[in-house]
Structure 1
Amino acid sequence: MVSIGTYQRVEVTDAAASLVRELTAQHGPLMFHQSGGCCDGSSPMCFPVGMFLTGPSDVLLGDLDVGLSAPVEVFMSESQFEYWKYTHLTIDVVPGRGAGFSVEGPTGLRFLIRSRMLDDAELEYFGLAPSAE
């Protein structure tokens, strides 16, 4: 897995990082927005930077180091983040049809999220550990 720093909310598998590098060569710099459901389920959507506009209600989950000159930012809506804040996300790739507007759609692959609960050290690092009262 590719990541930067000690504790991250989001990482990327080597296979997904490889696809991001290929897609960057075709589309230029990319970013992810973790979809909140509805039409695209809960798929991570990958867009050329500037094609999907983030705003003040989006949370930057982290930067993915995929071996390019700049990291790839990953965002999620603030309301959805409230549900996911105790979760570590890993962007992976599997065979299948990509989400509607996500750039991997024509490749025969699709990005997906694998998740796990944050461990005690991560909870403390992110200020989410229960207070000892």
Structure 2
Amino acid sequence: MKTLLNVIWFVFGGFVLALGYFLAGIVCCLLVVTIPWGIAAFRIGTYALWPFGRTVVDRHERPGVATELGNIIWLLVAGIWIAIGHVATAIAMAATIVGIPLAVANIKLIPVSLFPLGKRIVPSKSLLPTYSH
């Protein structure tokens, strides 16, 4: 099911979203000082290509001052605008019953687009507890 949702997502918005994140990543890496944001943009871009079956988790127990400051700068410069784009796209996708899972995936992208530093993207299965005998 997640493969089918990922293909539909890719065709109806994921590819364009990912291109936007990749373009932002290239610009940030060219400016050298903003390389951490560029790396984060590439990471989010790959997540935006295939969001179903993956989730975002915190990278560290407690983020450092540099991570928090970087996230605040990102929020003010780009994060708010990206989040507004995700909300607008989610509303458009939710207009149809078929688009509701896609709208949910768009909403799922908002937290990482607002505060990308200190996050990592992992398969959803890895969050399940493992038991060994």
More strand by share: 1
Please tell me whether Structure 1 or Structure 2 has the larger radius of gyration of its CA atoms. Answer: 2
If asked which structure has higher relative contact order (CA below 8 Å, sep 6+), I would say: 2
Output the TM-score relative to the length of structure 2.
0.28
More helix by share: 2
